[in-house]
Chains A and B, each alone.
Chain A
Amino acid sequence: MRKLLLIVLLFSFSIVLWANNSCIVKGLTVTDVPYDDGSGLLLKWEPLPKSCRIIEYRVYRGVSKDSLFYLGKIDVDPIVGVVGNEMQFSDNDFRPFVDLESPAKLKKEKGQSKDSPIYRSLPRNVSVVGPLLSKFSTLGIIDKDIFYYKTKKVIKNKELYAGLKTEEFEGIYANIIPGQAYYYTIIAVNEKGTYHPYAPIVKGISHPNLPEPVNSLYVKLIKDKSYLQYEFEMPLFTDGIGSFDFYILPKGKIAQFEKYKQFQKEYEEYIIKETKDPQNRPSPQPVENPAILINSVETSYPYPTPNFARIDLNDKTFVDKLKNNNIVLNESTLDNYYFIVSCRDYYGLEAFDISKNVNAIDSSALPIMPSMKVRDKPSDKGDMIELMIGRPIVYLTQINSDVKNKKKLTINYELLKNHIVKVKKVDFKFFDMSGKELGSVTEHYFDNIVRFTLPAEVGANNPFKVVFTIYTDQNNYKGETYLTQHVIYNEDLKQLKSDALILNNEHIMDYRYLILKKAKSVKNFQVTKRLSPLMNTFDDNIPYETSFFKGVADYDAKRGLFLFDSMIDLGYDENLQTTLITSLYLNDYTDNLKELLSDLTAKDDPNLQPEIDYYKSMLKMQEDVNILKEANGLLGKKRINFLKKYRENDKRTFIYYLVKTDGTAQFDLTENYIDDTHKNGEFFPEPDWFNMANLPMLIASLIFGILVLYYITIVKKGVNLYIRPIAGLEEIDNAIGRATEMGRPILFVPGLSGIDDVATLAALSILGHITKKAAEYDTKIIVPVCDYIVLPIAQQIVKEAHYEAGRPDSFDPGNVFFVADGQFAYVAGVNGVMIREKTATNFYLGMFYAEALLMTETGNSTGAIQISGSDALTQIPFFITTCDYTLIGEELYAASAYLAREALMLGTLKAQDYTKLLIIIFITVGTILSSFHFNFLINWFPAE
């Protein structure tokens, strides 16, 4: 028997062990990410079978085999499993390294044995994390004010640093670096939370590659203007690309160019070998690029770099460069050259794309540029600049024919306009394809629908066109805008469909807009938005600077600090052609520079000259540049405040221009936008103190407030105001009396909303009155509550009402209780109370949803008298149907004042009525005016 038991036990144990081991991740491989700068590795593994019920695959990384830390995870649905036979995880971005939420100490991962190398996240311990810093590229995110005012000065190995504790960072992120060996493993976790054994650890080393070339390169020569225009599609991988270079290559030199491309490949192989195993191998023999560089655009990573270039061939620089190479570019010589764009990375590796689409056009073929306006967006918190492009646009979105009369059309349209244009009216003129007018419709109020019946002689499915004439406010856009849209019959859908939209003989949808902007503090323009040609307004978000991004360079284990450079970047200075920088600690910085300079000079090594020149220029900058001189004249916090203001101003001041393109280098662009108040084209978003969109609301509130004060004054003088009787409130006393007579309790349900809902506040106000009355009659009142914040308030109200009624003894705190915050759980609880306690009177006051009918019908079935009140429009019909009395909408809010009968309260009620009267008059006048196409009132008080 014992043997049998032992065998069974052993069998069970081996089954458990087998089941556990069968869920170990297999086939883990680590490969280099292609086309990158050496900062990416790609992990692949086979997904486990569905029977393992895996909910997540956790990835661990380390710089040695003996300690791997949690890096990230991929969630999996345990029921569906993984579709496909491969899972991937890219380690090619900055991922959380250490932050406030990291464990305080090194902690083994769940389910790991003592000798397992698998740990949870890196601990927030500087001594543990510090030595790893050099193995990664790091990025510390620091709150702006902490950086300016709370960093500690540290000098380590003669270098000046600023230091912060782990918890003072918003987070420290890390990414892998080329040439460093990393070790990876995967742990699968099942739905019970069991951590399966880790997969065999695999090593990976990343290295830089040739960048990915651009796609779909187009080149156009604009004959009459002598512009050479390039446009291309961005490659998928843009990390590590330092610039896009534009070349011309005489076709005769293609063989030499191929050699140069071959050299690039050899150079890539050389870099890969040196990255993986540095041995100072001789680099491949350089080959000269025979193509002539005519333009270069530096990337503005992480912002999108422009994917086009216009080279003015009349520009002296290019004329000289081309002349020296015996190149004459015109329509007839265009075929003699290749036009090339290269992506150049920071290692000097280049990938090329040669254009197969080159042709010459006249400037008349270029798109017609729309007008553009830029302004600081009004009524904002100072983080928006508004761009308005072109004129208003109308287009048809859908055309529906009547079922019986196919010629009776209901046409949906869209009117797109920007905020400074006021559209007065839009004419829709219908023409057949031969140009014969079929009729017209004029829209004065834009409800996005027009109805039109095609004339009898026109077939129901015949194509036609619509000419839109948009009449705008003369002050902003003089004249009218004409657009034409074709309507065709779609045989597949069996209905009319809007087609080409034409403005100024251009098919609008063939183009798109690119909005380019450049901060005052940077050198290059970036593409901030690609817009559909239908869009004629764009709000450019200019966020306030909240954080600093700093590479974490070192650590101070003794003080528990992570160290980073103390420099403040003040932006690019176009006059000096350099970026202005200074340190948080000026004196220490200049002393440090001087010390480094004297050390380097003492070495007397000509190879160190560039370094010496750099330090000298930094020193000179602190002393000579006006803005730095001005800042450095201030002390302590005043200096920092000055620098902070200067930096923020420059970083948030932008210059804009617009490009309109068809995507094939047939583009045109505007000059940098300037206007009378921004002659230098620089726009800074100023915060505003009043939101003009809320002006109607303010006016209405003020009128209401004045009426309230007026009626309060009147009532205080003793004038008796008539308040119409509200049946539901009149009956409250009777309902309480009924419960008293029957000797049964009262139920008060204060709705489902929280205390932030005015309906709940109104309900609680009524609760006080009802409880006081109930306490006077010594009737029990039960208040089940759905919101835990409402609970103590309701308890206090009930308690005080009992005290006021002189019956503190009858107050039972257990009668006001929390049921549940789930809607239907609450209903179940309340219905249970009704049935068990046999309540004689039920009050439902406040905000209700689908549960309303469930409660009131139950109350109805128990024979209770029910009084309800809500502002929930969808529930009022149910209340009216099932309750004896219902307070409809505003009556709920009036109830407290009505019951209290105090002068101050009644004043507000009367003011409310008169405000309503004013609104009714306003609506009536507005309706009459707009019926006669006087829309000024609607425009003065817009609905949004």
Chain B
Amino acid sequence: MKRSIPLAIVIILGFLFVGYVFIPHKISSDFYEWYMEWMKAMSPFGVILGIMSIIMTHTARIQHKVPNWQYSIVTLIAMIFTAYAGFAWGTQEGTPFMWLFKNVQMPMGATMFSLLAFYIASASYKAFRARSAEATVLLLAAIIVMLGQVPVGVSLFGEGINDITHWILNVPNLASKRGIALGVGLGMVATSLRILLGIERTYLGGGE
């Protein structure tokens, strides 16, 4: 029962939604809208799970005094205070909640994001080391594309570099991307079909 009921729900609803894609009738779209309303109603309960998980994880860390447990206190206080600010003063412009969002969360997110530039440089270095024939091709393609994207490339090598860049991006690059996308599409369909037919059940928890 523990497994068969969720499985039955997945299979029935799965086929109903497959039907929705092919059946434009009002009955079908009404069902979809009705389901989406339920989805909206159910989502907030999921947030509770997340909050409970954060509280349990961090209280356990504080209780067991694991290394760096002090950060858990900061996390919990930040969470409680942000939630309180939102409930007490609202979330519109000019409120403490918005102040926290603009002056704490956004800069911290931007800081993490800015690291990406350095990581890309480091990853590029690893990728473009000409250790083999394939890596050399990659290096050459990258140099051409980079030069094609900047004015100095055109002034050094003329308009031709632009054409080569476009060719690299639009022919071999696009062809391989589409090849992967095709495989991904089929993989998705195959996985969905395995789920719909009840062949794939591991997402329900464990194996058989």
Residue positions of A touching B, CB distance < 8 A: 53, 55, 77-78, 190-193, 379-383, 403-404, 544, 687-691, 694, 697-698, 701, 704-705, 708, 758-759, 761-762, 764-765, 767-769, 772, 785, 788-789, 791-793, 796-797, 799-801, 803-804, 814, 817-818, 821-825, 827-828, 836, 850-851, 853-854, 857, 871, 873, 876-878, 880-882, 888-890, 892-894, 896-897, 900, 902, 904-905, 908-909, 911-912, 915-916, 919
Known A897-B194, A911-B190: A768·B25 in contact at CB below 8 Å: no
Known contacts A689-B23, A698-B22, A824-B109, A857 near B119 by CB under 8 Å: yes
**Do the beta carbons of A687 and B205 come within 8 Å of each other?**
no
B5 CB to closest chain A CB (Å) equals 14
A761 & B159 in contact (Cβ 8 Å cutoff): no
B25 contacts which of A190, A404, A688, A873 (Cβ < 8 Å)?
A688
Bound together, the chains give a CA A828 to CA B94 distance in angstroms of 27
Q: Quick one: given A788-B49, A857-B123, are A873 and B68 in contact (CB under 8 Å)?
A: no
Chain A residues with CB below 8 A from B50, complex form: 788, 791, 818, 821
Taking a contact as CB atoms closer than 8 A, the residue among A190, A854, A912 that contacts B115 in the complex is: A854
**B140 interface residue (CB < 8 Å to A):** no
Interface size class of B (residues with CB under 8 A): 35 or more
Contact, CB under 8 Å: A836 / B68: yes
Measured between alpha carbons, how far is A767 from B205 in the docked complex, in Å? Answer: 10
With beta carbons under 8 angstroms apart, the residue of B57, B116, B202 that contacts A853 is: B116
Shortest distance between the CB of A232 and any CB in chain B (Å): 40
**A382-B25, A817-B56 given; 18 more Cβ-contact pairs under 8 Å:** A77-B93, A381-B25, A382-B26, A690-B24, A691-B22, A799-B206, A801-B206, A803-B206, A824-B108, A824-B109, A853-B123, A857-B122, A878-B120, A889-B183, A896-B194, A897-B200, A912-B187, A919-B182
Q: Cβ of B181 < 8 Å from any Cβ of A? A: yes
B90 cross-chain contacts in A, Cβ below 8 A: 193
Supply 18 A–B pairs (Cβ within 8 Å), ascending by A: A55-B94, A78-B93, A78-B94, A193-B89, A383-B26, A687-B27, A690-B24, A694-B21, A764-B203, A785-B53, A788-B49, A789-B46, A800-B205, A800-B207, A854-B112, A873-B181, A881-B127, A890-B184
Q: Which residues of B contact A764 (CB under 8 A)?
A: 202-203
Residues of chain B within 8 A (CB-CB) of A919 are 182, 186
Instruction: For the complex, give the distance between the alpha carbons of A704 and B196 in Å.
Output: 14
A823 — which chain B residues lie within 8 A by C-beta? 109
Evaluate contact between B122 and A916: CB separation under 8 angstroms.
Answer: no
Tell which of A190, A687, A880 touches B26, judged by Cβ atoms closer than 8 Å.
A687
* Of the residues B43, B53, B184, B200, contact of A765 by C-beta under 8 Å: B200
User: Contact between B123 and A889 (Cβ–Cβ < 8 Å)?
Assistant: no
In the complex, the answer to whether A191 meets B94 with C-beta atoms within 8 Å is yes
Contact of A822 with B188 in the complex, beta carbons under 8 Å: no
Residues of B within 8 A of A818 (CB): 49-50, 53-54, 57
**How far, in angstroms, from A877 to B47 measured CA to CA in the complex?**
33
| Cα separation A796 to B126 with both chains bound (whole Å) | 38
With A691-B22, A691-B24, A799-B205 known to touch, is A892 a contact of B187 (CB < 8 Å)?
A: yes
Beta-carbon contacts under 8 Å, B135-164 to A? 159
- Evaluate whether A193 and B95 lie within 8 angstroms (CB atoms) in the complex, with A800-B206, A897-B194 already known: yes
**Which residue from A403, A814, A911 sits with its C-beta under 8 Å from B60?**
A814
Pick from A403, A854, A909: contact of B119, CB under 8 Å? A854
How distant is the Cα of A761 from the Cα of B202 in the complex, in angstroms?
Answer: 9
Secondary structure dominating the interface of B: helix
Nearest-neighbour CB distance to chain B for A23, whole angstroms, equals: 14
Which of A190, A761, A768, A876 is close to B180, meaning CB atoms less than 8 Å apart?
A876
Task: Out of A797, A822, A878, name the residue touching B206 (CB < 8 Å).
Answer: A797
**In the bound complex, how far is the Cα of B199 from the Cα of A705, in angstroms?**
13
- CB of B65 within 8 Å of the partner chain: no
Q: A854, B116: Cβ atoms under 8 Å?
A: yes
Roughly how many angstroms separate A564 CA and B119 CA in the complex, as a whole number? 68
**Most central of A380, A687, A828, A850 by chain B CB within 10 Å:** A687
**Which of the residues B53, B180, B190, B205 comes within 8 Å of A908, measured between beta carbons?**
B190
B189 is an interface residue with CB less than 8 A from chain A: yes
Distance between Cα atoms of A156 and B191 in the complex (Å): 64
* Closest 3 pairs (CB-CB, A-B): A191-B94, A800-B206, A893-B187
Complex Cα–Cα for A761 and B89 (A): 39
Q: Determine whether the beta carbon of B187 is less than 8 Å from that of A871.
A: yes
Residues of chain A within 8 A (CB-CB) of B190 are: 704, 708, 893-894, 908-909, 911-912
Q: B192: CB under 8 A from chain A? A: yes
B124 to chain A, nearest CB (A): 8
Q: Smallest Cβ distance from B60 to chain A, in angstroms?
A: 6
What is the bound-complex CA distance between A905 and B89, given in angstroms?
54
Q: Are A758 and B123 in contact (CB under 8 A)?
A: no
Q: Is B105 engaged at the interface, CB distance under 8 Å to the other chain?
A: yes
Contact B126 A881 (CB under 8 A): yes
A55, A768, A850, A916: the one contacting B182 at CB < 8 Å is: A916
Q: Which residues of A contact B56 (CB under 8 A)?
A: 814, 817
Q: Are A825 and B109 in contact (CB under 8 A)?
A: yes
Min C-beta distance of B29 to chain A, whole Å: 5
- Flag if A380 contacts B203 (CB, 8 Å): no
Contacts of B188 in A (CB 8 A): 758-759, 871, 893
CB distance from A401 to the nearest CB of B (A): 13
Q: A788-B46, A817-B53 are in contact. Are A769 and B187 (CB under 8 A)?
A: no
Q: Which of B65-116 contact A (CB under 8 A)?
A: 67-68, 89-90, 92-95, 105, 108-109, 112-113, 115-116
Whether the pair A804, B120 counts as a contact (CB closer than 8 A) is no
Closest to B124 in A: A881
Do A708 and B22 contact each other (CB < 8 Å), given the known contacts A789-B46, A894-B187, A896-B200? no
Contacts of B28 in A (CB 8 A): 381
Looking at the complex, which one of B120, B124, B191 makes contact with A761 (CB distance below 8 Å)? Answer: B191
Known: A788-B49, A788-B50. A55 touches B194 (CB 8 A): no
Closest to A55 in B: B94
Select one of B23, B49, B60, B193 contacting A691, CB under 8 A: B23
Q: How far is the CA of A800 from the CA of B206 in the complex (A)?
A: 5
**Cα separation A380 to B24 with both chains bound (whole Å):** 5
Collect the chain A residues with CB atoms within 8 Å of residue B24's CB: 379-381, 687-691
Other-chain residue from A690, A824, A882 in contact with B123 (beta carbon distance below 8 A): A882
CA–CA, A919 and B50, complex, Å: 43
Known: A381-B28, A758-B192, A882-B126. A873 touches B180 (CB 8 A): yes
Minimal beta-carbon separation of A213 from chain B (angstroms): 43
Within the assembled complex, what's the spacing in Å between the Cα atoms of A824 and B116?
11
State in angstroms the CA–CA spacing of A764 and B195 once bound together: 13
Residues of chain B in range 8-41 having any CB-CB distance to chain A below 8 Å: 21-29
By the criterion CB–CB under 8 Å, are B93 and A853 in contact?
A: no
